Amino acid sequence: MDVMGDKATLYETGRFAQPARSAVAGDEADAVADEAAEEVRRRLAAESGDVEAMSVLGSMLLRRGDLDGAEPHLRAATAAGDRAAANNLGVLLHQRGYADEAAGWWRIAAVAGSAAAAHALGRHFRERGDEPAAEYWLRQSAEQGHTLGAYALADLLEHRGDATAERWMRAAAERGHREAAYRLARALDRRAGTATGTDAESAAHEAEQWYRQAAARGHRRAALHLGAILEKRGELKEAGRWYLTSAKDGETRAACALGFLLRDAGDTESAAVWWLRAAQEGDGNAANALGALHAERGETQTAERWYRAAMDAGDDNGAYNLGLLCAEQGRTAQAEQWYRRAAYAGHREAANALAILLLQGGDRTGAEPWFSKAAEAGSVDAAFNLGILHAGRGEDAAALRWYERAAAAGHTEAALQVGMARLRDGDESEAERYLRCAAGGGSAEAAYRLATLLDARRPPAPAHELGEPAHEKTECEEWYERAATQGHRRAQVRVGMLAAARGDAVEAARWYRAAAEAGSRNGAFNLGLLLAREGSEPEAAVWWTRAADAGHGRAALRLALVCARRGELAEGQRWADRAASLGPAEVAGRAARLRDALREELSA
């Protein structure tokens, strides 16, 4: 029992003052001397029959651990009706191992109105499994304002699932009980997680206040949770202070969290110190972090050792990370072994990685169940991969279901696939919704397809001549530009065309050139047109040649016309033949006529 540690128990009568304490060594010595003098005075008074002195002297000796010296004084004071002595006599007997006799004296003191004795008696009955009696005495203690009694009653009621537990937990917390403050904060935290709106905000705010109170009183887990709240809110400096406080008090999770905070701030050396401290205390997350740090440095043997330590600490990420390490080194068999170990333990990303490994090895049958297991466990990547698997077999409906599931969880490429499927089905409204999600997530293809969808809806823009003022950009053009900036070649060509339509030849040339240099034959063709319009036909011919070699029929026809004007009839006929074979139909017809004309000219 912790009754002895409760100063309200030993000094509950309030009949003498506690000796003042000071941080100065001389003052501490004076306090010890004062306490010794006080003991002498109490002993003299007790010997003369002073009941109060007997009680106080007994409590002083009990606190010091002198049970033999304390017992006769406490028994004498108890016999004279002193309830504080009866309570402390119960404490003494409990420490000697006479629990039933201790309970008898606590009962006497509790009946006489001792809240501390009622608390001790309630604890005694709870340890014996007599919950009704425990509740009765703890309630007596709590209702008299005893902090430990309120906390013990709250603990008992919470164990039963009684809704009134929070009232007493709050009462204990308000009186300074740090564990009560922490547990009240945890309850409010859970409530915030299930509530909505202002109720959730209110519960979260109050939880933070109780975490602060508990942490300020030295509760290391409260300091950890407070640090996490502050980190999530972006208040990293204060979060770090609480993590440091908690870590110094021995909370390994705080040491690990502090390590991540330092790593994100760029201080990997300090991060490693805290991770090492936490890992040596058995924190698997810290061991994994150390493994990753050494793996990044190329120290694979050390990384493997820490991953194994994480695994030994019960962290399945250790096996998964070992699998990743082996896969990077080309040790496929070992990678499969570690992936399987983590996957069988329920690690969803390991199950997905295992399925990918099997698929790469040609085992589609073996891969699918692991994809399914990972996807059902919530792996977004696995759901997307299942979509690819079904699509490859032509099972479009099944593929779409998995793509939709992954898209709902924020998978960008899955949202693109759903958007394209909706476009094929003619459901433009749904297609737009999914394409916006994918484009917003960074997919250049989605941004391009969204732009083409919006482009098809807008009314035709008035024609512009070069040099005319440019009109304001539309939303579709903004999406084209986003895709173009990400290197999407067709988007680059389209942005160039829109710029040319606005009369901005410099901007048009910039985008055409970017697309052409990336391998776009349309970009090369359009750049050639722009250069030819500006009088740079030799450079235009270079880009048309690149486009024609890539299969662009119009570029081949343009080259044939250039050669014809230069009198290079054989070369012109060759390009005309090329244009006629490439098409499209209109180009093929014109190229055939030009080819025949050039042939006649050569024959003449």
604 or 588: which leads in pLDDT: 588
Average pLDDT over the chain reads 89
- DSSP class of residue 471? P
- Give every CB contact of residue 555 below 8 A, 6+ residues apart in sequence: 521, 524, 525, 528, 543, 544, 545, 547, 548
The SS3 assignment for 132 reads helix
The DSSP result for 200-229, as a single string, is HHHHHHHHHHHHHHHHHTT-HHHHHHHHHH
Is a pLDDT exceeding 50 seen at residue 4? Answer: no
pLDDT in tens, 386-406: 999 999 999 999 999 999 999
Confidence band of 18 (pLDDT split at 50, 70, 90): very low
pLDDT in tens, 334-355: 999 999 999 999 999 999 999 9
Smallest CA-to-CA distance from 523 within 502, 492, 486, 488 is with: 492
Cα–Cα distance, 323 to 353 (Å, whole number): 9
Which H, E and C letters describe 420-431, residue by residue? HHHHHHCCHHHH
The SS3 assignment for 279 reads helix
CA atoms within 13 A on the CB side of 191: 18
Is a pLDDT exceeding 50 seen at residue 7? Answer: no
Place of tokens 């459901």: 427
- Give every CB contact of residue 496 below 8 A, 6+ residues apart in sequence: 507, 508, 509, 510, 511, 512, 515, 523, 526, 527
Confidence band of 115 (pLDDT split at 50, 70, 90): very high
pTM: 0.71
Quote the pLDDT of residue 26. Answer: 57
Smallest CA-to-CA distance from 587 within 525, 540, 535 is with: 525
201-to-188, 196, 198, 206, 215 alpha-carbon distances in Å? 10, 8, 5, 9, 21
Of 2-16, 133-147, 293-307, 487-501, the range with the lowest mean pLDDT is 2-16
Place of tokens 């006497």: 108
Residue 422: CB atoms within 10 A of its CB come to 19
Cα dihedral 161, 166, 168, 171, rounded to 10, equals 170
Label residue 225 exposed, middle or buried (CB < 10 Å: 0-12, 13-18, 19+): buried
Q: Which two tokens stand for residue 83?
A: 């309830």
Label residue 443 exposed, middle or buried (CB < 10 Å: 0-12, 13-18, 19+): buried
Q: Which two tokens stand for residue 470?
A: 């440019």
Rounded mean pLDDT, 3-20? 34
pLDDT in tens, 428-485: 999 999 999 999 999 999 999 999 999 888 766 555 444 444 456 788 999 999 999 9
Cα–Cα distance, 525 to 393 (Å, whole number): 38
Single-letter code of the amino acid located at 58: G
Is a pLDDT exceeding 70 seen at residue 526? Answer: yes
- Rounded to whole angstroms, the maximal C-alpha distance in the chain is 149
Cα–Cα distance, 444 to 164 (Å, whole number): 56
Cα–Cα distance, 337 to 349 (Å, whole number): 14
Cα–Cα distance, 98 to 67 (Å, whole number): 13
The SS3 assignment for 572 reads helix
Confidence band of 280 (pLDDT split at 50, 70, 90): very high
Rounded mean pLDDT, 40-65? 87
Residue 352: CB atoms within 10 A of its CB come to 27
478 or 4: which leads in pLDDT: 478
60-94: string of b/e by CB count within 10 Å (b at 16+)? bbbbeeeeeebbebbbbbbeeebbbbbbbbbbbbb
Is a pLDDT exceeding 70 seen at residue 107? Answer: yes
Cα–Cα distance, 493 to 521 (Å, whole number): 10
Is a pLDDT exceeding 50 seen at residue 20? Answer: no
pLDDT in tens, 233-260: 999 999 999 999 999 999 999 999 999 9
Rounded mean pLDDT, 141-168? 95
405: phi then psi, degrees, rounded to nearest 5: -65, -45
Quote the pLDDT of residue 83. Answer: 87
Confidence band of 36 (pLDDT split at 50, 70, 90): confident
